[in-house]
Amino acid sequence: MIESDIIISAMNYVLDKGIGCLSIHDCLIVPEESAQVAIDAFHKAYKDKGFKPPKLSVGW
């Protein structure tokens, strides 16, 4: 349940910025120019749950 809370929180962060996104498992698909927003979203979501920032990979 923690993982789903994290991805939903990250998606809401991105959507609140007016950026469309798709979720596949533990990934977010966003426009390339919005990659930093998605990174910030994951960092905030993990921090809000009491975890250290995740190691992320950005690519397409």
> Residue 40 above 80 pLDDT?
yes
Buried/exposed 1-24: b ≥16 CB within 10 Å, e otherwise: eeeeebbebbbebbeeeebebeee
C-alpha–C-alpha distance, residues 57 and 49, integer Å: 20
3-class DSSP assignment, residue 54:
coil
pLDDT for res 26: 86
- Which tens digits make up the pLDDT trace of 7-32? 999 999 999 999 999 999 889 999 99
Predicted TM-score (pTM) of the model is 0.89
